[in-house]
Structure 1
Amino acid sequence: MSARDGLTHVAVIDPPPLRRQGVGSPEQEVPPPRTIATCSSEEIHLPSLVELDSELMLVGYNDSSLSRIFVLKLADLASGRTVPVDTIGDNVLFIGIRNLSVSSCWLPSIGGNSIVCFHAGENYLAQYHLVTGSWSPAGDGHRQFW
């Protein structure tokens, strides 16, 4: 994923083509990256990629105030549509240095439909509820994670 010219580009690198035995050079060239989706940096700020139930999602802020997070399906972006996802079900997305999704049944103090990330505007580890749009400090019920 890269940002340039006011656009966020998501690219893939395809594997080298299979060569037939005895044909071609022993060193296979890796094809250059191929852009599969592009969206305006005004549409999504500070985007991150995360896999959710075998589907790639782009998670970011909806404007420069960094007050609301929204989630886009990469497949929608690849087909030219920018449609925010209403719900991520009973899942929690962790966005940061590494991104991952976890079922909320493994995290009883963090409800589903939540995104845990460093709140860029307020400087704390926060939990964002996707449906209500509300922020709260991320915690395990006894102490906060910061």
Structure 2
Amino acid sequence: MYAFLVVTDMMASLQEYYDPNCSMLELVFAPAEEWISRSDSEIIEATMSELAKLFPDEIAADQSKAKIVKYHVVKTPRSVYKTIPNCEPCRPLQRSPIEGFYLAGDYTKQKYLASMEGAVLSGKLCAQAIVQDTELLLGRKLKNSQTEVTVA
């Protein structure tokens, strides 16, 4: 069907929305190409079915548990690149083949499609690669500077 890229409970995320008796979910799903022409009610019905699978104790597809009080569906055509078979090997790693040169961006190799979430995860993976390599790179720099001092 589709994959949720983001499920956020805004009541827990933002103090001004906090209400201990309810949740306000913000959902992003992709790929949405097949859903863009469907009605809001069809999208809500399918979304509730998916949420019921993810949160069976709290949500039922028929709303017999959690009830929708209000919703707003936003459709953004072409907001996420469509993936095609065999394109994953073309995405570069965050640690490039050039020593000390790193890449971050939604186009790099990470588990999400090209999206804001992918860009954030890529930035995290890039930072982790830099931290992992720092000791190695500093060690080489120190060794090279000691060699230069000895030779001079």
TM-score by length of 2: 0.23
Q: Quick check: which one's strand share is greater?
A: 1
Say which one has the larger Rg.
2
